[in-house]
Structure 1
Amino acid sequence: MLFLRKSIFTLILIAFSLTACGKVSATQVPATTPEVIINTPQTIADLTTPTSLMDSEILGTDAPPANDYADCGAGGLIDVGYYFKDNNGDISPTQLVRFQKTSDEVRDYVAVITCLKNDEGWISDPDEVENGYENEIIFFDKNGRAHAYRIIIGGHYVAPYDPTHKDITGSTNGIDNLFYNVQEWIDVSRNQFVSNGSRQIGVDIYLDDTQGDLSKVLTQVYSFREINLQIAEALKTGEGYPDQVPEGFFLFATDSWLIQVE
């Protein structure tokens, strides 16, 4: 009888212990929940990192422009009726018009349409050309790349100078030639360049002279004969523009005409 009571008491203790263990286990299950919550923001942070890297990689892979034609101005090119195309199939701003001689067969010229670098030119150094219009002219090669050189247009270049003769022979429409004081031409050309958004211009550039000592100006230009002829050849082929020129080099044009929007 005593043994039976002890057995019953033992069974009760075991049952009580099992019940208590069940309660402890039940309280341990929710303890894993914060671990899931903590991991969630880490996943979001990891997703944003590659996105930033991708953005920077995309920004860093911008291709360079196919050509330098924006050097002519922000307004786009005016159609001049000539159609020399570069290697990318784009119409070039540099268009060879013709080679020509003066009526006395003394001077060789090339007529070309291209662009100037600056909206506003300036008066040339009188030690080079008195009252000439100076700027930088840009020729574009067959790959669309720009080559810029000093240019002086007009001024008093044949002695003896006629004081009644104005400085510049120019045209604002490519048809009617007029005569301007150099400051007048600076103003007229600047206004048209700004209005058009393009600095396209036509020029008759002196190349060679069988009597290169007719004046101080022509003597200077004649001293650059080889460079002049190299540029003339590059105008034909679209390649071979000189990257370096002698100190004091400038191209010389007797007259010019502005390209006007029709």
Structure 2
Amino acid sequence: MNYTFSAFRKQIKHLYFLLLAIPFAACGQQGEHMKPTSAFNEMTSPQKDSNIDKKTTDTATFAAGCFWCVEEQFKQLNGVTSVTSGFIGGNVPHPSYKLVCTGTTGHAEACNIIYDPSKISYDELLAAFFVAHDPTQLNRQGNDEGTQYRSAIFYHNDEQKKLAQYYIKRLDEEKAYNSKIVTEVSPYTVFYNAEDYHQNYYDNNTNQPYCQMVIRPKLDKFRMVFKDKLKQ
């Protein structure tokens, strides 16, 4: 594995906090923070896309903290064909992970999610997004701090924008969380793939402490919430 000093430093930081307080997951808390609401039930109900017959695949782009966690969560869902970790929303072309980690490029760690709309809807992916992290934390997830860890939805068309704004409004109105959602809703611009060693990170590093102590518990909770929507 091409393991950089930046990634090593991130591992050490997470392990330090985990040893101090294991219950506080470094990638941010998830799922159980959301109270059951009619908006969430609506999101998770199968939706009919009027253009579904014209599409074989579509793309969703979400930032929800550490992309190692987000990638593995969305890979579990039936209808998701691929997930790529990368960077979006910044002002520096072709940034490296090390540079993004400084918080000076404006980029967010994010995932491009390719999915089959005949098997899973954008509404359902939004539900997964709101379970995968805590969207009420501004520019952080748990012990990960900085604008690179912000909560954001990067929409690819007007329909995605409308749905993102609609569900954020509904969830806030229904007080799904104890605090107001701070998720950024912005147009999709340029997405830069992260270095190869970030792709399929959990699968390639399953036995590392960070994967075992942070990603795996989040993954288990995510799979429990979406047990009827997982790949077989």
TM-score (norm 1): 0.24
More helix by share: 2
Greater relative contact order (Cα < 8 A, sep 6+): 2
More strand by share: 1
TM-score (norm 2): 0.27
